[in-house]
Structure 1
């Protein structure tokens, strides 16, 4: 055990002197996620709030055919812009979010009491146009309902005849559950931080030393290989865990900066959230450290190990992609699957739902079992004499 501790202290000290490892594990890895997240969320929220507060500037074709309609839309916040010759091209080229086109026979149909047709020209594949299209549609629907009611009153009928069925919406979402949906990518940032925190260390302690031919003298010492491995894994885990801790604290600070309440949401990333995240993530620290060391052991050079681990980095993204594409109902068995259990648990915490002690324990236990198996496989690979040879 003294040998394991010696290897651990040696690797930690040496890598603390390595600027690349320190910057990756303690600066870029843990902080790039919160910084990008704050910038992105603040930009989106500010843009959407500005759009909601400002007049809706929409090019209108044929405004002269429906002056009453245009006046009513102006009262709701529409600011008509000059007509354009080719609205379809303008929308495709993103020169306009949406274009309102009023046909020449609008007035004729109106006077006859018939349905008067208008056109909204837009491109639904452009995400930034959604709010403008929805605002214009609500304006037109409000005007349509009001004028329809006026027509019934003019004929001595009750406006309620237009609505034989009344729908009373009862949204069961909470401010925090809505925030959880918006910030559902957060668990992936935590997993990525663990990966980045230990990646360069894992490469250097295996493929790097193999390339520098310093593994062979180390293995020549009368020390069991598994103690050498555990010393190296301990150093990787310390850097990964420190990186995760910095990231969790960073997101906790970000939760106070992001103006989620302006969108009717509540983002709670306080100490209780941080503690539960750390408990669920600890097994992943050990698991990813073992997997990174195992993969790096098959590389003969530092650069080759970087290539292998870059491919391995895509694995943690799979649960996030799966949950974002498929409407999966949360079940207890998910907590037994590493990566998936952490994704589900943190997503529930973000939504303000309770994650039970049993679910956290299951997540930790299953993760530790898989981590131990990965460590045993890595220890078996470390027994090979070819590991110390760089050619």
Structure 2
């Protein structure tokens, strides 16, 4: 009987601390708001809203009539008619097209050279200027649309000139380029959803942040750590109880976020851009599996950083800097695009980022990559937890001043 109850007795201190911290923080409105509302629900909602706005803006400029100021329209009436047929609505000329583009009064301006008609009659190349500002993101779609219309018109007129001279249009195209895009509808979704891994990690961080602060710096400021440490319970059990409570709130926050993306993600019109993404239960379960060691790692790091603070406000300042850490993989992949290597999956944060992008693409995650991702992050979590246990053994942690 004693042998059977011995494991329960050993775990009693851990469970007591865990249940105490969970119960007390379930009454804390600030902790509940950050763990179950701000991160897991507001983040997916804002993300989907921004994606919808971006898609609708691109589609509006790609499909709807596009107003373009046109300088020298009288020199090329046939070209103007071709642009009108392509959905371009010519606008009156502007005095200073370069300044109009810089001030964003127009996405682009077309300028036809005065010698257009004379050069056309001689069969010489004619010049049409597309004036735009490449630093304006909203100008990309209109510029590409107008450029394609001009290139199509140029090819058509060039072919007609060859036919008029008794030559085949194929003479002018000695090499034909056949583009064979191997991207699938699901893999193209990565271009729009490449921030998902960061959002998931950020949700985990926010879900446990206030709890981690309250259980270390908060209790230190309230001078409640000293009586807790006076109990005949090993310090490592006290820490594990607090760590488990932080992990429980972080995991619950991530689950709510995944459920929210699964529901709200269905309202993203990705099919209009030839994309497809599956954020259903299968995707959610695999992301949750990938993030399990990350939940422990972030909770341990938050506890460690908060343990150095002597007040709640000071801990908030420290953790606000730590919040930048999950952003590093996203910045690296955007600024330094590289081909993922096998060893990268063992790097915490980077491995989760690459693994989730593989799931978004629909490629799946190989057992080797999954094992490296879980193992590398679990090892880092173990080291962070071990370092924090050492801080809990110090008597300074219980002193608020």
TM-score by length of 2: 0.96
Pick which of 123-132 and 2-11 moved more.
2-11
Work out whether 1:361 is the aligned partner of 2:371: yes
Q: Return the alpha-carbon distance in structure 1 between the equivalents of residues 82 and 349 of structure 2.
A: 54
Match of 2:153 among 143, 159, 179: 143
Aligned to 2:140: 130
Residue 57 of structure 1 aligns to a residue whose secondary structure is: strand
- Match of 2:67, SS state, is strand
Query: For 1:166, what is the secondary structure of its paired residue?
Result: coil
Distance 1:90 1:327 in 2: 35
Residue-by-residue CA offset, 1:299-351 (whole Å, 9 max, x unaligned): 01111100100101111111111112222212221121111110000001101
Partner of 1:293: 303
Deviation at 1:32, TM superposition (A): 2.0
**Which range is displaced more, 46-55 or 14-23?**
46-55
| Distance (Å, rounded) in 1 between the aligned partners of 2:283 and 2:214 | 33
**Which string of whole-angstrom CA distances, capped at 9 and with x for unpartnered residues, describes residues 161-216 of structure 1?**
11110011101110001002221110000000000000000000000111111111
| Structure 2 residue aligned with 1:231 | 241
- Cα distance in 2 between the residues matched to 1:379 and 1:138: 63
Q: Which of structure 1's runs of 4+ aligned residues deviate more than 2 A?
A: none
- Give per-residue Cα distances to partners, 1:28-57, cap 9 Å, x unaligned: 011122111110111011111122221121
1:58 aligned onto 2:91:
no
Aligned mates of 1:298, 1:319 — CA distance in 2: 26
The answer to whether the aligner puts 1:96 opposite 2:106 as a matched pair is yes
In the TM superposition, 1:1-391 aligns within 5 A as 1-391=11-401
State the distance in 2 between where 1:383 and 1:354 align. Answer: 43
Task: Please provide the CA RMSD for this pair.
Answer: 0.9
Deviation (angstroms), 1:73? 1.2
The Cα shift of 1:100 comes to 0.2
State the alpha-carbon separation in 2 of the partners of residues 56 and 138 from structure 1: 14
Distance (whole Å) between structure 2 residues aligned to residue 282 and residue 300 of structure 1: 30
Q: Secondary structure at 1:222's aligned position in 2? A: coil
Secondary structure of the residue aligned to 1:306 is helix
Deviation at 1:219, TM superposition (A): 1.0
* Structure 1 gap segments, 5+ residues each: none
**Secondary structure at 2:118's aligned position in 1?**
helix
CA–CA distance in 2 between the matches of 1:69 and 1:368? 64
* Structure 2, unaligned runs of 5 or more: 1-10
Equivalent position SS for 1:121: strand
Contact 1:279 1:360 in 2 (8 A): no
